[in-house]
Structure 1
Amino acid sequence: MDNTTAAATPTAADPATAPLHAALDAIRMWRHRQPHTDARRFAELDAILDAAALGRIESSLDLSEPTSLPEAVEAHQAVMNLRRRTLADAGRAWDLVEANAMRQISRFMPNTGTGR
């Protein structure tokens, strides 16, 4: 199974989403530099990056104009749920990147056997 991600995220038309796109692109570039033998370890990260590359975030923000208070409240709740999911995905992605960096550091740490 090929766990690479699609091409770069579409360019952000809205300056408010530019930092999100830049962060996802940076994570995607880092992921492509990792050995493909680590595919199982990065499966969750690959799923997050694939969803972003396929435009899940952008398409979810294409909300129609509400015509009533209940619709406006529902639209607001949808945006807030998307925000929570997006931030959780970004947090998991960075956790995976950080864990890999810590594994790389530990490779170079001498095992002194002192229990420290």
Structure 2
Amino acid sequence: MVRRRWIGIAVVALAVPVGFLFVVFFDKVMSGFGACRIVRQSAFASPSGSKLVVVVWKECGATVPDSTQASIVARGRTFSPESTPTFVSVRGHLDVVVAWSSERAVTIGFIPGADEVYKRDQHAGDITINYE
């Protein structure tokens, strides 16, 4: 009877850490399926160089279409998709043409033209954004 009890304790003692490792591994694998990948494409400096238009491609796997996005970042600041808001987002991997006309105005164009626009703001902070 004592031997059977020790076997039971040993089985439970092994099952708990093995189960924990399985749950951690399963969570790690499943969290990768929903993760998006941000690929920085280019940055365009304003006339004084104090601001940048940062262009990225966002890839989220087979179930979500890829997109091209742009944000404005102050020179010397690090671009972060979590803390830097996008002002434009379009479907697909497009080439972006950026032309600053002043420190407070920028024109954005896409090659080829964007088929589907998800977001298209006219302003990003104090900067006016024009689209072609």
When normalised by structure 2's length, the TM-score is 0.28
Q: Which has the higher contact order (CA 8 A, sep 6+)?
A: 1
Normalized per residue, which structure has more helix? 1
Q: Which has the larger radius of gyration?
A: 2
When normalised by structure 1's length, the TM-score is 0.31
